[in-house]
C-alpha cells in the first residue's frame, strides 16, 4: 500500500505544481492521481474522500476543456475574477453539501471520520470548481482545506499522504502568489481580493 500511496502522492504533487504554474497539463496528470487515490481511500474507509476522487475526475475533464479555451500566448491559463456574490453562494453550497454528506456518511456507513471527511470533501469540490473556472480564490480555499487534511491523514496513519498535503499547502501558497500576480496584470487591475 505504501508504494501505491507514494505513486499517488508523486502524481498529485506534480499536478498541483503544474496548476500553480498555470499549465493545462495539470489536468491529465491530476486525472491519473485521482484514480490512484480513489483506490487508496476506499481501503482506508474514507468514503467521502473516495467519492471526492470520482467528482474530481469529472471536474478535471471540465477544467481541462475550459482552460484550453483560455490560454495566453505563452500557453498559460488566463485568470478570471470571482465576484463576491458567487464566492458567498459557492461557500454556502459547500456548507450545505458538507452537512448532507456528513449526515449520510454518519448514518449509513462505517466511515472513520464522517463529518470531517464530508466537510473537507464538500469544500474541496468548491475549490476544484473555482480552479477550473480560473479563480485566485481557489488557492485560499485549498490552503485551508489542505491544512485540515494533514491532520486527518496523520490521524488515519496515511503518513505519505499527510506529507503530500503539507506539500500542497506550500504549493498552494506558491500558486496563490503567482496567480495573484497574473490577476494584477489584467487590464483594469486592482489589488487582488480573491
Task: Report yes or no: 47 and 41 within 8 Å, Cβ to Cβ.
Answer: yes
Predicted local confidence at residue 52, as pLDDT: 83
Confidence grade of residue 188 (pLDDT, cut at 50, 70, 90): low
- For 91, 148, 164, the CA distances from 137, given in Å and listed in that order, are 11, 18, 21
Dump the DSSP string for 138-191: HHHHHHHHHHHHHHHHHHTT-HHHHHHHHHHHHHHHHHHHHHHHHHHTSTT---
Task: Report yes or no: 16 and 172 within 8 Å, Cβ to Cβ.
Answer: yes
Mean pLDDT across the chain: 91
Over residues 162-175, the mean pLDDT reads: 95
Confidence grade of residue 185 (pLDDT, cut at 50, 70, 90): confident
The dihedrals phi and psi of 77, each to the nearest 5 degrees, come to -70, 145
Predicted local confidence at residue 41, as pLDDT: 87
Predicted local confidence at residue 189, as pLDDT: 54
Domain-by-domain residue ranges, the chain? 2-184
Q: What is the pLDDT of residues 41-71, one digit of tens each?
A: 899 888 877 888 999 999 999 999 999 999 9
Which run of H or of E encompasses 87?
A: helix 84-108
Over residues 14-33, the mean pLDDT reads: 96
Residue of 34, 42, 45 lying closest to 155 (CA atoms): 45
Amino acid at each position: 500500500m505504501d508504494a501505491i500511496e507514494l505513486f499517488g502522492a508523486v502524481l498529485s504533487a506534480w499536478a498541483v505544481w503544474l496548476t500553480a504554474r498555470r499549465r493545462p497539463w495539470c489536468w491529465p496528470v491530476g486525472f491519473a492521481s485521482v484514480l490512484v487515490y480513489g483506490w487508496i481511500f476506499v481501503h482506508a474507509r474514507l468514503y467521502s474522500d473516495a467519492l471526492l476522487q470520482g467528482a474530481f475526475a469529472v471536474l478535471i475533464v471540465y477544467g481541462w476543456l475550459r482552460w484550453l479555451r483560455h490560454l495566453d500566448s505563452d500557453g498559460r491559463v488566463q485568470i478570471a475574477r470571482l465576484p463576491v456574490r458567487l464566492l458567498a453562494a459557492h461557500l454556502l453550497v459547500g456548507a450545505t453539501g458538507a452537512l448532507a454528506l456528513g449526515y449520510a456518511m454518519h448514518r449509513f456507513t462505517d466511515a472513520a471520520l464522517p463529518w470531517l471527511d464530508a466537510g473537507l470533501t464538500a469544500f474541496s469540490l468548491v475549490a476544484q470548481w473555482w480552479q477550473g473556472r480560473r479563480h485566485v480564490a481557489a488557492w485560499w480555499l485549498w490552503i485551508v482545506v489542505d491544512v485540515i487534511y494533514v491532520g486527518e491523514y496523520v490521524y488515519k496513519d496515511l503518513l505519505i499522504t499527510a506529507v503530500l498535503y503539507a506539500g500542497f499547502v506550500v504549493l498552494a501558497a506558491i500558486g496563490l502568489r503567482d496567480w495573484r500576480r497574473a490577476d494584477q496584470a489584467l487590464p483594469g487591475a486592482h489589488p487582488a481580493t480573491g
